[in-house]
Amino acid sequence: MPELNLVLLGPPGSGKGTQGERLNEDLRLPYYATGDILRAAVRDETELGRTAKGYMDAGDLVPDEVIVGVIAERIDSAEALDGFILDGFPRTTPQAEALDAKLVELGRGVTAVVLIDVGDDEVVRRLGGRRTCAANGHVFHVDFNPPKEDGVCDIDGSELIVRDDDKPEVIRKRLNTYHAKTEPLVAYYDQRSVLRRIAGESPPDDVAEEIRRTLATMRLEQDEAV
């Protein structure tokens, strides 16, 4: 298989960032978190970055074609010659269609979409259990990484708070948005035979191992088909 172009898909709190970083280390492919590369384009004042900044400064959403253009700048580079890992885009079916069209222009395509499947209740438990240090932003979790003293940061002794983003009602709203706008991508990519489902409620090491096995099997199947 000449290149491995991956899209990570899943609800907030599914662990896409964690698994993306692991894949980056395992596969030696660039990991593109969409928000990061958009901010980098703005910071570096590329032509598309300046365009995006104009929308952001006006409080408007950056149009899909601008985001796709920023992503294409990174994908169409020497560092992504053997493939890439894309996290945070696409979020909607029109964005997926725009990304596919741009990849076709570049003579490329999505190899696999890795869906890290996590139920709503588990997402609420994961995100709702986070506690953040009010002074310096150190993060703890009531289940996975509890502080030694309840409500107090181990590192600097400041109060641990629940950020607005981590309140259950906000998490549920984010999940509703995911189900309405992003979940249709499951069917979109499944119809194109590139979707790979991963059980995301297992421990991170187990999820990483399942992703490795899935990609290895996919490579083997494609090699045999040649």
In the chain, domain spans = 4-225
The residue with tokens 């985001």 is 67
β partners of residue 117: 199
91 is catalytic: yes
28 an active-site residue?
A: no
Active-site entry in 39, 163, 181, 212: 163
What six digits make up the tokens of 52?
């995006």
Confidence of residue 169 (pLDDT cuts 50, 70, 90): very high
Which residue out of 102, 172, 174, 197 is catalytically annotated? 174
* Residues of the chain above pLDDT 70, percent: 98
Let me know: does 74 contact 33? Beta carbons within 8 Å. Answer: no
For residue 131, list its beta bridge partners: 140
pLDDT digits (tens, 9 = 90+) for 178-211: 999 999 999 999 999 999 999 999 999 999 999 9
For residue 57, name the pLDDT band (cuts at 50, 70, 90): confident
Told to judge if 74 belongs to the known catalytic residues of this protein, a careful annotator would answer no
Q: What percent of the chain has pLDDT over 90?
A: 84
Question: For tokens 């990061």, what's the residue?
Answer: 36
Residue 130 among the catalytic residues:
yes
Q: What is the pLDDT of residue 81?
A: 94
8 Å CB contact between 116 and 19? yes
Rg (CA), the chain: 19
CATH of domain 4-225: 3.40.50.300
Q: Catalytic site residue 53? A: no
> Band of the pLDDT at 226, cuts 50, 70, 90?
low
Say how many C-beta atoms besides its own lie within 10 A of residue 36's C-beta. 12
Check residue 56 and give its pLDDT: 86
Per-residue pLDDT, averaged over 10-30, amounts to 94
pLDDT at position 2 over 90: no
Whether residue 170 has pLDDT greater than 60? yes
Average pLDDT, the chain: 93
- Looking up tokens 């706008």 gives 181
Residue 1 has pLDDT above 60, yes or no: no
Of the listed ranges 45-49, 68-72, 186-190, 219-223, the least confidently predicted one is 219-223
Q: What is the pLDDT of residue 195?
A: 97
